[in-house]
């Protein structure tokens, strides 16, 4: 919720018991503020000399974070191990056994891993995976993947100095099964 400070004329000492502006009867009240056909409810919190002021720009949408394309990855799998129907859907253990990664930030091969994702009653697959990437310059990167297909959240871990920046990176991937039954994802770093 946005906060609002009022000018002294609207938040006067005459209305403030014992001179404490926090005891003004307007403090804590919620009021509706409208601008250009949009309205927002705000809470009065204090007084501010000069003019009324909103704590945040409540009528404009925030800018989205920047995205930087990292790579595309193709994951191949061995035969799944079926767990079957569980309380939240159908679970298979998908054994990642290879693939490739190519892009402006990473190039190499996919190592091994496991996806213990869940397919819900609506047929939506939610990946929950852990696998390795092995770069052409001999770095090993652990990939943590979770989401609701086709939207995937990715984190990384590596001991490589060259790729240490990945340890603090948050990534978004989109994609899904390709014509071969493998999983193809495009991966973007969020908020560079």
Question: Where do the domains of the chain lie, and which CATH numbers do they carry?
Answer: 2-54 (no CATH), 67-190 (2.40.160.20)
Question: What six digits make up the tokens of 147?
Answer: 């989401």
Distance CA 144, CA 114 (A): 10
Instruction: Reduce the DSSP state of residue 21 to 3 states and report it.
Output: helix
Residue-wise pLDDT tens digits, 3-36: 555 555 555 555 666 666 666 677 777 777 776 6
Least confident of 44-53, 89-98, 104-113: 44-53
- Confidence at residue 6, expressed as pLDDT on a 0 to 100 scale: 55
**pLDDT: is 73 or 20 the higher one?**
73
Determine if residue 55 is left, alpha or beta; phi over 0 gives left, psi from -120 to 50 gives alpha, anything else beta. Answer: alpha
Instruction: Reduce the DSSP state of residue 130 to 3 states and report it.
Output: strand
HSE toward the beta carbon, residue 186, CA cutoff 13 A: 5
Question: What's the predicted TM-score (pTM) here?
Answer: 0.70
Question: What six digits make up the tokens of 50?
Answer: 């000069």
Average pLDDT of the chain, as a whole number: 85
Distance CA 8, CA 21 (A): 10
pLDDT at 38 over 80: no
Instruction: Reduce the DSSP state of residue 150 to 3 states and report it.
Output: coil
| 123 prior amide bond cis, ω within 30 | no
- Confidence at residue 46, expressed as pLDDT on a 0 to 100 scale: 61
Instruction: Reduce the DSSP state of residue 102 to 3 states and report it.
Output: strand
């Amino acid at each position: 919720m946005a906060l609002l400070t009022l000018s002294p004329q609207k938040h006067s000492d005459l209305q403030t018991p014992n001179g404490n502006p926090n005891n003004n009867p307007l403090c804590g009240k919620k009021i509706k503020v409208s601008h250009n056909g949009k309205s927002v409810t705000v809470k009065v919190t204090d007084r501010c000399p000069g003019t009324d002021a909103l704590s945040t720009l409540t009528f404009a949408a925030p800018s989205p974070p920047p995205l930087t394309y990292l790579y595309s990855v193709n994951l191949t799998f061995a035969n799944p191990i079926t767990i079957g129907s569980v309380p939240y859907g159908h679970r298979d253990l998908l054994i990642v056994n290879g693939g490739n990664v190519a892009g402006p930030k990473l190039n190499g091969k996919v190592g091994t891993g496991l996806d213990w994702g869940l397919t819900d009653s609506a047929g939506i697959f939610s990946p929950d995976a852990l696998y390795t990437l092995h770069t052409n310059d001999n770095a090993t990167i652990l990939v943590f993947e979770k989401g609701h297909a086709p939207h995937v959240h990715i984190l990384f871990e590596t001991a490589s100095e060259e790729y240490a920046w990945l340890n603090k990176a948050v990534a978004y991937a989109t994609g899904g099964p390709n014509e071969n039954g493998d999983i193809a994802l495009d991966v973007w770093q969020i908020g560079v």
